[in-house]
Amino acid sequence: MGSHDRGTIEEQTRVCIELIRETLKDAGCTLNDVVKSMVWLKNRDDFPGFNSVYGEYFSEGPPARSALVCDFLIDIKVEIECTAYKPEN
């Protein structure tokens, strides 16, 4: 999920994670089911702002995460890809 290059990194991160939350809900999952996330940031200086918001959503037992700076991002400051796993009951 990416967010168009409008707003602060904090705003874009929040939009991304809310879109991920909606997608997970459609699949019967929640953010608690995320086991891995991959993050691309356009600018390394945005990491503290990104990380602050990310921590609001994944505060306890956060998923494994990789983060890279990538200048290929056009019109967005952040992109987040998540893998979720929900065991069958």
Residue 39 within a domain: yes
Domain that holds residue 49: 2-84
DSSP class of residue 70 equals -
Cα distance between residue 69 and residue 49, in whole Å:
14
Asked, for residue 89, whether it belongs to a domain, the answer is: no
In a domain, 55, yes or no: yes
Q: Is residue 69 assigned to a domain?
A: yes
Q: Could you tell me if residue 27 is inside a domain?
A: yes
CA distance 22 to 27: 9
CB atoms within 10 A of CB 19: 14
Over the stretch 53-88, which tens digit does the pLDDT of each residue have?
Answer: 999 999 988 999 999 999 898 889 999 999 999 988
pLDDT digits (tens, 9 = 90+) for 22-35: 999 999 999 999 99
Average pLDDT of the segment spanning 32-41: 98
Q: Are strands 34-41 and 64-69 parallel, antiparallel or unpaired?
A: parallel
**pTM of the shown model:** 0.89
- Count of domains forming the chain: 1
CATH number of the domain enclosing 26: 3.30.1330.40
